[in-house]
A and B are shown apart, each in its own frame.
Chain A
């Protein structure tokens, strides 16, 4: 069984953008370990040749016509923004590069 280390929990928290506290690191490390070992029983199921199911209902090819639909006004879009400027969403300085 994989045991989830504190460092691994910290890495997951970074990936998930959660500024977890030191205390939470310990709690989550313990709880995730318990949960992960419990759910690991899915690996006991012999399922080599079993196709995975991603969607509960077997639909395909659901498309929309390429026709413009009325959206939100600029005011509606920005109404709940924590901050806005010049019709745009204002966000703190961005560190990383675009991907």
Chain B
């Protein structure tokens, strides 16, 4: 038992120490196939069904680079204001691990495809921080291990592990920041804002699903502290398993308070990998390595160099979407939002999704009303950001279009959205599967109206007598009889017609 406090009060931390951050984000590209073979990348497939000799590392197999993945890498690099290397190679990173079929990762080492860039990151109060980008390079993902026999599926205490190589070879782009210095007490917020902004950018580029919950966006947070007023970097730790934007902020904050307590107690920070625990919101040390890793990088002889021509890069530059910051400026004008309104939308993480919904055909008002009300409630219930909901702008736009076409009522539209959120497929599939189409067939509706009028003769008489507001009761009865699938406006018209 230690008498020393495990963490230091945050105000004291930032009074005494200056944090330095480094963020490494791995993005899984949403290409149809893997980085070096033609296997599908569909998330959630049955284990070891999206594998071939190459991604299983079978003897004799060889890699061939996915051209679409290289284009995505270059577009990401350009969007991050990076230089694109005119000539670069893949390298082998050699280390043994059962989730890696070849026991080397095909990655890039000293010749990344994109380097020396930056991204402006807006904070909640409107301040902007420019984050330097050191590099963005291409590599491949590993397989997934399932640890059996231990507690909570953790690796420690497991009797054995089971490996699924469907994910092995999925294209990854690793984006590494330069050290982020001088942000002081705002370090946790900056970390979160950076990952959020990066996610929005990647989504706008349409290169990745950027789903932190599914691991298509993963963040490792490097944190070190140095006494305020000094310039030399302290020893850093690298925290992994940070699976949500909220966790990015919490992990950085926790690490700052932990490291400060160690340093204040005269201890030393160990350079190590730490694991973020979602439950306790703390980090814990990974297994210490007995010997320093020596990855023995060398140029991958099975792949030839990549030499993007200036022409190719220029063509890819033209495909870049509007930058998020520019998009916001434009949208504020077009939607005539006050600064406060825009800030609200920004804080709700709603600007990009609304804009994308508008892009997909909805009006700004329609898009806004769905995202800030019903969808915001759903996100809130699930504890995720709007953009993390398993429904996308294109699907929301489709639902809006169905409402406008009279094929869905608002109530039915909500049910369709529920279906999409529940993973039942595209809106049209949910409509068909749940039988949610509006009953717009007049003869069916007329029969229902007649039945309701017959059931409530007194109300029918009132309507006939000119008390139009009494029609509400009949509308209600018809809606009930049609299980809400009737178009209420049309029902009212029919009632008035029958009673005239």
Q: Taking the complex as a whole, does A directly touch B, i.e. does some CB pair lie under 8 Å apart?
A: yes
Contact B50 A71 (CB under 8 A): yes
Contact indicator A59/B304 (Cβ below 8 Å): yes
Question: CB of B52 within 8 A of chain A?
Answer: yes
B164 pairs with A96, CB closer than 8 A: no
User: Across the interface, which residues of B come within 8 angstroms of A72, CB to CB?
Assistant: 51-53, 56
Question: When A60-B304, A61-B307 are in contact, do A69 and B52 touch as well, CB less than 8 Å?
Answer: yes
A59 to B160 Cα, complex, angstroms:
44
Query: What's the Cα separation between A26 and B64 when bound, in Å?
Result: 41
Encoded as 1 (CB less than 8 Å from any A CB) or 0, chain B from 286 to 304 comes to 1101010110101101011
Q: Does A2 contact B (CB under 8 A)?
A: no
A89 touches B39 (CB 8 A): no
**Taking the nearest CB of chain A, how far is it from the CB of B39, in angstroms?**
5
**Could you say which of B64, B69, B160 contacts A92, with CB atoms under 8 Å apart?**
B160
Contact with A along B259-276 (1 / 0, CB 8 A): 000000000000001010
Residue numbers in B under 8 Å from A39 (CB-CB): none
Q: Are A85 and B162 in contact (CB under 8 A)?
A: yes
Q: Mark out the residues of chain A between 46 and 66 whose CB falls within 8 Å of any chain B CB in the assembled complex.
A: 54-55, 57, 59-66
- Chain A contact residues: helix, strand, loop or mixed: loop
Complex partner residue of B32 from A14, A62, A67, A70, CB under 8 angstroms: A67
Q: How far is the CA of A11 from the CA of B286 in the complex (A)?
A: 22
Interface residues on A, range: 35 or more
Q: Is A34 an interface residue (CB 8 A)?
A: no
Chain A positions within 8 Å of B95 at CB level: 99
- Decide if B304 touches A61 in the complex (CB within 8 Å): yes
Q: List residues 451-470 of chain B with CB under 8 A from any CB of chain A.
A: none
Q: Which one, B9-17, B41-49, B329-337, B404-412, is touching chain A?
A: B41-49
User: Considering the complex of A and B, which 10 residue pairs feature the smallest CB-CB distances, nearest first?
Assistant: A69-B38, A63-B67, A71-B52, A66-B68, A88-B162, A54-B299, A59-B304, A89-B163, A60-B307, A97-B286
A-to-B contact residues, CB < 8 Å: 11, 14-15, 17, 54-55, 57, 59-74, 77-78, 85-99
For the complex with contacts A94-B147, A97-B275, 14 further pairs of A-B residues with Cβ separation under 8 Å are A54-B301, A55-B299, A61-B307, A62-B65, A62-B304, A67-B32, A68-B39, A69-B37, A72-B56, A87-B47, A90-B161, A91-B161, A91-B162, A96-B97
